[in-house]
A = this chain, B = another copy of it.
Amino acid sequence: MPAKTGKAIFLKSFPQGLPAKDHFVSRSFEAPAPADGEVQLRIVWMSVDPYMRGRMRPDIKSYIPPFSLDAPLDGGAVGQVIESRHPSFAAGDYAVGFSGGWREYATVAGAGLQKVDPGMAPLSAYLGVLGMPGFTAWAGLNEIIKPKAGETVFVSGAAGAVGSLVCQLAKLKGCRVVASAGSKEKCDWLTREGGADVALNYRDYKNATELTKALAAAAPKGVDGYFENVGGMHLEAALNCIAFGGRIALCGMISMYNNTEPEPGPPNLVNMIGRGVMAQGFIISNYLPLAPKFAFEVAPLLDQGKIKFRESVYEGLEKAPDAFIGLFKGENFGKAVVRVGPDRI
Using a CB–CB cutoff of 8 Å, the interface residues on chain A facing chain B are 54, 62-63, 231, 235, 244, 250-253, 256, 262-283, 286
Contact = CB atoms under 8 A, between A and B. Distances in A.
Given A252-B273, A265-B268, A265-B269, 20 more contacts: A62-B274, A63-B244, A63-B274, A63-B275, A63-B276, A231-B270, A250-B272, A253-B270, A253-B273, A262-B268, A264-B265, A265-B265, A271-B281, A276-B286, A277-B280, A278-B278, A278-B279, A278-B281, A279-B279, A279-B280
Nearest to A54: B274
Contact of A265 (B62, B266, B281, B283): B266
B286 A281 contact: no
Contact of A273 (B265, B268, B282): B282
Contacts of A264: 264-267
Interface SS of chain A: loop
A252 B273 CA distance: 7
A219 to B, nearest CB: 15
B270 A274 contact: no
A59 to B, nearest CB: 14
A251 B273 contact: yes
A184 to B, nearest CB: 29
A54 B272 CA distance: 14
A269 B282 contact: no
Given A266-B265, A267-B263, A279 B283 contact: no
A273 B281 contact: yes
A270 B277 CA distance: 17
Nearest to A235: B269
A263 B276 CA distance: 20
Contacts of A278: 278-281
A283 B273 contact: yes
B262 A272 contact: no
Contacts of A286: 276
Give the most central of A62, A235, A274, A277: most B CB within 10 Å.
A274
Nearest to A244: B63
Contacts of A235: 269
A277 B282 CA distance: 7
Contacts of A266: 264-265
A45 to B, nearest CB: 26
Contacts of A270: 231, 253, 256
A282 B63 CA distance: 28
Given A54-B274, A63-B274, A274-B54, A269 B253 contact: yes
Contacts of A271: 281
A272 B62 CA distance: 11
A275 B265 contact: no
Nearest to A60: B274
A268 B235 CA distance: 13
Contacts of A276: 63, 280-283, 286
Contacts of A283: 273-274, 276
B265 A274 contact: no
A24 to B, nearest CB: 24
A90 B95 CA distance: 77
Nearest to A62: B274
